[in-house]
Amino acid sequence: MTVSGFTFNAFSENTYLLHDATNQCVVVDPGCYSRQEQAALKEFVQTQGLEVVLLLNTHCHIDHVLGNQFILDTYNVPFLIHEADLGTLRAVASYAAPYGFPQYTPAEPTGFLTPAQPVEFGDTTLEVRFAPGHAPGHVIFYHAPSKVVLGGDVLFRQSIGRTDLPGGDHATLISSIRTQLLTLPDDVTVYPGHGPATTIGAERISNPFLR
């Protein structure tokens, strides 16, 4: 599986496209808001010959969902979140304009993610892990064969997700990191929702919030 990343919107949010040898593609956390950002994502899909088959959100804070409706309008694919983050998603419409995104268009999921049901596309199977604390319905996606985890806003290089937003809880976040991320092998690459990639081993050793 290949991970291709873009950094979008004023929050410098990382949007990821997951694709494999079949050229099927999953969009994770589309933060593309402006026409230029949307065009960049669409051009990449076209030039790489990818077939977008699914839209996923790790969680539903504004910076991770700005492009949801664009993806649905463009590719007409299923859209999945964890049910516990449905309120988080629906709340975005109430504050998008004051945050500087007046053209935000709300999108409703077509189904819900659960750790009991892996996500499948092409030749790829993603394990879904429930990791609340930053958001009540936060999930992460793990692909063991590629040694890759899409971590959203749970764990960053030398940092962790904030917990002062509605539904956040510091103790819950630390528990999620320890049980859902630090249980993975040290050589697994973590692709976070913001900032550069890191590894489980590096954060286990030196992350100041996990000591």
Cα 118–Cα 121–Cα 123 angle in degrees, nearest 5: 100
What integer pLDDT is reported at residue 211 of this predicted model?
A: 85
Which residues in 96-128 are b (16+ Cβ under 10 Å) and which e?
beeeebeebeebebeeebeeeeebebbebebeb
d(CA 73, CA 75): 6
- CB-CB neighbours of 83 under 10 Å: 14
Q: What is the pTM of this model?
A: 0.97
Q: Any idea where the domains of the chain sit in the sequence?
A: 2-210
Task: Of 137, 134, 89, 135, give the one whose Cα is nearest residue 115.
Answer: 137
What is the pLDDT at residue 32? 98
- Tell me how crowded residue 18 is: count the other CB atoms within 10 A of its CB: 26
Interior CA angle at 200 toward 44 and 187, to 5°?
Answer: 80
The pLDDT profile of the chain, 211 residues, written as one tens digit per residue, is 999 999 999 999 999 999 999 999 999 999 999 999 999 999 999 999 999 999 999 999 999 999 999 999 999 999 999 999 999 999 999 999 999 999 999 999 999 999 999 999 999 999 999 999 999 999 999 999 999 999 999 999 999 999 999 999 999 999 999 999 999 999 999 999 999 999 999 999 999 999 8
Write phi, then psi, for 10 (nearest 5 degrees): -70, -15
pLDDT of residue 192: 98
The pLDDT of residue 85 is 98
pLDDT of the residue at 136 = 98
CB atoms within 10 A of CB 200: 21
Encoded tokens for 87: 């309120």
* Domain 2-210 belongs in CATH node 3.40.50.1100: no
